[in-house]
Structure 1
């Protein structure tokens, strides 16, 4: 009977075709549409009124304009199954492209029935299960792309039998067996990409040499171990080779010299430990070389630099010696990154003369001599990074005309002389760092042209003269650091126009005059340091409304007048007004011993602690005023005592009335074996036991008669209640019963050590209670961001990260069906007595069920500010990648100690702040200063994992199972080798390899 079902279905479709007028191909497609969820109405043109589907969106037909030859439904936001039983009935279908949808369930074995297929692209969907072993039965298939799904298990051995396959991409799945040697028998392959799968440790098979037609080989993050096989040299057509993010060791094989077509090599972040092989000059077609972030040593071969290179990346190795002058003769060189080595000598004087150089980074070496004048000969230079070397002499005048420069870092060298006037006004430069040199002269007025400038760092030089009024025209300026120079005159009045300014540091100069009027426009100012100048006048009253001001140092100046009353309302980490000419009485909240040092050296200043204003203000009038205050205080105290007594009796009656509730009406549903009854819970639900209050209700701590404690969440009464300010979309309201049902539905079935345990629930018609295990250390967010955050040392934070990751991995990969939490944040990670972490609060969790209902667009954003993945915020699509982004933010919180949203960040969030700070200031400015530096190397690795999880592109985020493995590997490595106190973070990059920027 089942065998007759397809025939019966076919007959029904043919009959329906006669009725609707739609031809057979269109009827199959229309039937498939009925099984899909289409929230954006992308398939609105697919109707049964047309004669053929050839005018439908995403459909291409053959010359006869009747039969379908190709489907391209990329970015249609569709969810539902891949129906091979329908699609494979299209007799002329040669191409199926469903890129970036939510096609789910498994890829059926019947896919082999699509025999005409040449191109199958199902990348960035939600397919699960094993790879179909029937795929190689497609005789004509040339291109197969299954990137960014959730396929698991091994790669089927049958894949070795593809007859004509040219492209195979399985990037970012959950394939967890070894890299199958059988793949290297597909001799027709031109592109093979297996990157970023959690494969078991395995060597690169020697059978790699069978792929003689291969042009592109990407095996990044495949857990490869051992040496690179000599058989690599058989791949004579290879152009791109990427073995990054593995554990390879040994030398680069000499057979590599036979790869005359190779244009790009990437071996970074391995454990290669040899010098460059001899015979590199044989690689006459080589254009791009990237062997960065290894342990390569020795000198850079002159033969290598004589190749017609376009890109040379040797950063973060151990190279010594000089850079061969022959590198300057390459006619197409546009990228040269050598930072983080021990190279010395001078840069070739003709560097940039013969090639359109765009990116030059030689930071953190031992180069000396002058900056070559020809660097911007072709006018293409965009990044010039030379900090932390021994360069000397002046900046060449030619760089002042390099109009495309956007990033200039020349700090910590021995450069001198005046900066070329044109360089001050470069129109695209956003970072100009000249600090810690011996530059002299003024800031040129041409700086008015640098309208894109965000960071101006001039500290520790010999700059002099007046700060020009044009500095106030730089509306994007966020930091102006010019400390330890010889600037004089007054601050320009226009400086108050810098509405984006976050740091103004001009201490140790010769500035005079008064603070400018209108500083209330500095709404983003975090650090104001004008110490050790000759500034006079008064402190503007407006300083008290700079709400994000954190550091204020005006010490050792000539400032007079009163301390503004509003200053006491600021939450300052540093306040120093010492050694000025301030007078009058201090604001009450500042007149404390903790601020004594902040006001020393001001003879006319009066305060309530010893050392300020002694003996002043004791006349008869002041004494009478004191007696009036005392009388008012006595009367107020009497009123307060009477009020407390009255409130006590009222509260006692209310409490007794609350306990008289009819307990017989409560219904208890248990999920574990209980050692208590509902009576024990109900008797303790009074205000004395409240330990928290959130968007869905109050939380009580209940101590049972057994001595153990439980946490009880009482869902707010009524049907609706506004969510609190910590959640997104404050104007929306959520049904509390749905939150309750979600918690019960989810936690009632889950059993995992890193998911909070739900003991039971109690319900009546009007009230609902959830009884959880009690977590003595509260939430991670409350503890980390309080004054007790310093108690969380790095080993504890690392343990919390691993525990929480394992809990989320269980939800995503081990629950059937999978569960998406949708509100992962530090406040929803609870800590037990040993700081073990539990994921909690499943009030907005969604099940990713077999019908795809868990992946469709939601009507309201669930989550909290700073944790929401970019794509979720504008598509409302729910999937595991959203949780992974949120968990990445939690990792950044653990590493930085900062909140996800902070006024200091301005319009940025923690992710953007961390990326920008890494790029502009280095890793030391990102890591929480409370953490012991001996763990720096391990912290940096975890930070990299957090950055991977918060990638803007969902496809670049690793699955939670992979995140757990990476975190565990960090701990394993730490146990097998001593931590380095001076460990460095690997250069920050995006996973697609698009940016290999220096940390410097």
Structure 2
């Protein structure tokens, strides 16, 4: 047996040990030791596991006290003096998940949201974090299956993994969080069904699983979550009925099951949601009548049941609720609107469009509430408009088109200074429009077509300075069109067709630089067509048919770069068809039934334009029947010979004089007048370029200038852009020139056109680029040369190349560059059809400011059909602006159609057309019917086979 020997400790040593023990137990000492260790962990993670490219963690440095509580994103408990939270949200850090943060045992909250973290998760290493109460990893780049949490995670209360790339099913461990209150998994790629075991999370008050490719029903076990306040499962492929157990969610405040495939009736048990404030069930397949049980929900303020298959009448009990927003659109509801709806003091949004409602609207609508958004279009309402819709002067949107409303517009509407959006077309309204209604200061969209309004358009319309769309066609307006319209510089669309307007069109209308569509057909306008149209660089549609215009067709129309629809038919126009019109790419060309004469220009002497040439008895063609053949008599030939000889003599003399004057002008002394900049190694100078900028070498005209092809002596061919300058200079042309030089002068990429040389003088600016033999993608895809792009493989190569050029601008340039005018006409193709991005006159560099980056501009730039909707409204530009435009180009490559092809129908572009076809197709189940529906969007020149959409 071993007997333990007594330990003899020297008295001074014993005293020292006692002092150390007391010091160790001191909170101040333990605080110091703990923080020193925490600081070391934080620094180790920063230096070894994270990349801090933005320098947001630069103050993570050991100071004399080694206290990390003042470091960026670090939170400490003031009482216990320990690190309890790390919040590095939106700092731009990257790398894998930093497990070692969890070695700080006092850590409770870890938020790494909105960064660039990536990779997958190791359940074993994740167990280090089992003591956390909050874990927020949203808006990162994590991949793989959802992490499987071990049973130790018993304190977790808030888990947010949204906006990542997680896949697979929801693991069973997600049903074993006894304290969990918030579970957010939105916007991932999670599949499978919503598991019943989520009903075990008895403390849960917020569940968000929307925007995932789930399947199956909403499980009945969801009713077990009696503390749940927010349930958001929108856009998740839900099917089946809404379970009756939904009524057990007595704490629920927000219910959003929108944009799914839920069917069946809305259960009466929904009346159990006694605290609910928002119910969003739109875009489903629900049917049956509106349940009276909804009338029991006294806390409800927002009800949206639109885009379903609901039938029956609008129950008075629901109309009596004090809702702020009610949307029942796109259903099969009928009957009259209960009068009690007008008594609601809270109603500010009422949307009932696309139903079968009848009768009169309650006359007091708007009198008792601050109504802001009112849309009852596409019903069978009758009678007069409610007089008090804008009684509180809050109404912003008035949309009532395609009903049977009659009578005059109430005079009170002229006092509605809050109104910005008006659409009341296709009704039986009559009388004169209240004069003040024309001049509302916030009016942006004004459409009253196809009614019986009369009177004239007052000059006071000039006060509606924000107006962008004026559509008053199909009425009985008369008199002259007031010149006050010319003060509406934001106008994009003017449609005054099918009225009784008279007089000449003021030439000031050509000063509307943003105008995209001008339709004035079927009136009695007289005089000449305005010729100073150089400002109409965005105009795509011009229809002046069926009027009394006289004189010649202005050749200046041929310089409009985006014009694709030109109809001048049924007027009294004389003279020849200008050859300049052949420069345009027109989908619609009609000058029929005029008094035109002479020979049809070669570019229009084609069968596709024949119907637009008929009805001009003196118009002839060499071979286009049934037009008369052009005369070839000897006398005529002799006259032509004499004229040509005279022209040749004059031309030779002019050339000799021109060359002499230029040789003097380009002498040694004059060279000082030019500012020359070279960007590549070249073997030419301005003397090899300037004399050849003549009409014979003109190959294109755009909004900022003209483009010429110049063959150099050395055998090289270049493209030369000469910007508009001098008397015709636009205010922003200097910025266009500077942007091209500054952008292309400093970047190099195989998929971006090379700027070789620039030359500026007092009266001109020129830019010299490498020449692209095959022109633009738009010319090839939509012109006669599309045979070269018949195959999908070639189109795919072009798409990839253009994408690589954009990626270089957005990600490799510092600061990033946004092109702002990505379109098929600005993607040039070389001899092998390799794409090059071109035309950087609108490009901007991004100086990052704020969370979203980007910069704000004073006006919309870009081309119609390619502009992102949010950019048009916010004027905030970032890389997403280019990405949207590039998406339109991809649709062009797939469909073979222009962005604004008239085959899409009225007010519809390629994005809306494709979206409508895709959404109206059966679900993505690989069915033959679905394939046939998608088949119609593919360019038939690609010779596609139905359901053959594979791409390597």
TM exceeding 0.5: yes
- Judge conservation of contact 2:177–2:201 (CA < 8 Å) in 1: yes
CA distance in 1, matches of 2:325, 2:140: 34
The answer to whether structure 1 residue 457 and structure 2 residue 471 are counterparts is yes
* CA 1:23–1:533: 2 relative to 1, 3 Å: same
The answer to whether structure 1 residue 24 and structure 2 residue 34 are counterparts is no
Query: Aligned-pair distance for 1:968?
Result: 2.7
Query: Aligned-pair distance for 1:587?
Result: 3.9
The answer to whether structure 1 residue 512 and structure 2 residue 468 are counterparts is no
SS at match of 2:572: coil
Greater C-alpha Rg = 2
* CA 1:890–1:523: 2 relative to 1, 3 Å: closer
* CA 1:629–1:467: 2 relative to 1, 3 Å: closer
**Of 499, 524, 533, the match for 2:547:** 533
CA distance in 2, matches of 1:168, 1:464: 63
The equivalent residue for 2:925 is 969
The equivalent residue for 1:654 is none
- Judge conservation of contact 2:182–2:207 (CA < 8 Å) in 1: yes
- Judge conservation of contact 2:512–2:535 (CA < 8 Å) in 1: yes
CA distance in 2, matches of 1:453, 1:432: 8
Q: Map of 1:588-599 to 2, 5 A cutoff?
A: 588-590=602-604, 595-599=609-613
* CA 1:872–1:60: 2 relative to 1, 3 Å: farther
Query: Aligned-pair distance for 1:108?
Result: 4.0
* CA 1:135–1:381: 2 relative to 1, 3 Å: farther
CA distance in 2, matches of 1:135, 1:421: 72
**Of 280, 288, 300, the match for 2:294:** 280
Query: Aligned-pair distance for 1:438?
Result: 0.7
SS at match of 1:184: helix
CA distance in 1, matches of 2:159, 2:211: 17
Which digits, 9 at most, give the CA deviation of each residue in 1:556-600, with x for residues without a partner?
Answer: 223334433322222222222233344455544445665454444
- Judge conservation of contact 2:822–2:886 (CA < 8 Å) in 1: no
- Judge conservation of contact 2:205–2:229 (CA < 8 Å) in 1: yes
**Of 769, 773, 796, the match for 1:827:** 796
The equivalent residue for 1:143 is 158
* CA 1:887–1:117: 2 relative to 1, 3 Å: farther
CA distance in 2, matches of 1:593, 1:845: 40
Number of aligned pairs?
745
**Of 162, 165, 170, the match for 2:180:** 165
- Judge conservation of contact 2:292–2:318 (CA < 8 Å) in 1: no
Q: Map of 1:880-919 to 2, 5 A cutoff?
A: 889=888, 892-893=891-892, 897-898=896-897
Q: Map of 1:359-370 to 2, 5 A cutoff?
A: 359-370=373-384
Which digits, 9 at most, give the CA deviation of each residue in 1:714-773, with x for residues without a partner?
Answer: xxxxxxxx9xxx9x9755666889xxxxxxxxxxxxxxxxxxxxxxxxxxxxxxxxxxxx
The gaps in structure 2 that reach 5 residues or longer are: 1-32, 649-718, 720-739, 752-775, 825-836, 838-842, 854-878, 937-952
**Of 209, 213, 218, the match for 2:223:** 209
- Judge conservation of contact 1:491–1:513 (CA < 8 Å) in 2: yes
- Judge conservation of contact 2:462–2:484 (CA < 8 Å) in 1: yes
The equivalent residue for 1:548 is 562
* CA 1:787–1:92: 2 relative to 1, 3 Å: farther
Query: Aligned-pair distance for 1:842?
Result: 10
Q: Map of 1:869-948 to 2, 5 A cutoff?
A: 889=888, 892-893=891-892, 897-898=896-897, 921=907, 926-927=912-913, 938-941=917-920
CA distance in 2, matches of 1:872, 1:88: 40
Q: Map of 1:96-175 to 2, 5 A cutoff?
A: 96-109=110-123, 110-114=125-129, 117-134=132-149, 137-175=152-190
* CA 1:151–1:135: 2 relative to 1, 3 Å: farther
Query: Aligned-pair distance for 1:346?
Result: 1.1
- Judge conservation of contact 2:818–2:882 (CA < 8 Å) in 1: no
Query: Aligned-pair distance for 1:414?
Result: 0.9
The equivalent residue for 1:676 is none
Which digits, 9 at most, give the CA deviation of each residue in 1:115-156, with x for residues without a partner?
Answer: 553332211101122333326633433221111111222222
* CA 1:736–1:435: 2 relative to 1, 3 Å: closer
CA distance in 1, matches of 2:447, 2:818: 42
Which digits, 9 at most, give the CA deviation of each residue in 1:882-915, with x for residues without a partner?
Answer: 999799547744786545xx7x79xxxxxxx99x
Which digits, 9 at most, give the CA deviation of each residue in 1:607-636, with x for residues without a partner?
Answer: 545787878674647337559989x99xxx
Q: Map of 1:424-823 to 2, 5 A cutoff?
A: 424-584=438-598, 586-590=600-604, 595-603=609-617, 605=619, 608=622, 618=633, 620=635, 622-623=637-638, 625=640, 785=782
Query: Aligned-pair distance for 1:243?
Result: 1.4
CA distance in 2, matches of 1:977, 1:575: 31
Query: Aligned-pair distance for 1:189?
Result: 0.9
Query: Aligned-pair distance for 1:250?
Result: 1.4
Query: Aligned-pair distance for 1:235?
Result: 0.7
SS at match of 2:326: strand
* CA 1:552–1:888: 2 relative to 1, 3 Å: closer
The gaps in structure 1 that reach 5 residues or longer are: 1-19, 634-721, 738-778, 805-824, 831-838, 847-853, 906-912, 929-935, 943-965, 981-1000
Output the TM-score relative to the length of structure 1.
Answer: 0.66
* CA 1:924–1:362: 2 relative to 1, 3 Å: farther
Query: Aligned-pair distance for 1:552?
Result: 1.7
- Judge conservation of contact 1:123–1:149 (CA < 8 Å) in 2: yes
The answer to whether structure 1 residue 77 and structure 2 residue 102 are counterparts is no
Which has the larger displacement, 573-582 or 226-235? 573-582
SS at match of 2:309: coil
**Of 106, 120, 134, the match for 1:92:** 106
- Judge conservation of contact 2:815–2:845 (CA < 8 Å) in 1: no
Q: Map of 1:271-350 to 2, 5 A cutoff?
A: 271-350=285-364
The answer to whether structure 1 residue 45 and structure 2 residue 59 are counterparts is yes
CA distance in 2, matches of 1:925, 1:844: 23
- Judge conservation of contact 1:780–1:826 (CA < 8 Å) in 2: no
The equivalent residue for 1:183 is 198
The equivalent residue for 2:282 is 268
* CA 1:430–1:624: 2 relative to 1, 3 Å: closer
SS at match of 2:924: helix
* CA 1:129–1:886: 2 relative to 1, 3 Å: farther
CA distance in 2, matches of 1:133, 1:895: 42
* CA 1:190–1:895: 2 relative to 1, 3 Å: farther
CA distance in 2, matches of 1:148, 1:387: 39
* CA 1:844–1:282: 2 relative to 1, 3 Å: same
Query: Aligned-pair distance for 1:321?
Result: 0.8
Output the TM-score relative to the length of structure 2.
Answer: 0.69
CA distance in 1, matches of 2:248, 2:514: 57
* CA 1:334–1:613: 2 relative to 1, 3 Å: same
The equivalent residue for 1:406 is 420
* Higher RCO (CA 8 Å, separation ≥ 6 residues): 1
Query: Aligned-pair distance for 1:193?
Result: 0.6
The equivalent residue for 2:249 is 235
CA distance in 1, matches of 2:477, 2:302: 41
The equivalent residue for 1:391 is 405
Which has the larger displacement, 609-618 or 312-321? 609-618
The equivalent residue for 1:198 is 213
Which has the larger displacement, 262-271 or 430-439? 262-271
CA distance in 2, matches of 1:263, 1:94: 32
The equivalent residue for 2:385 is 371
CA distance in 2, matches of 1:224, 1:41: 44
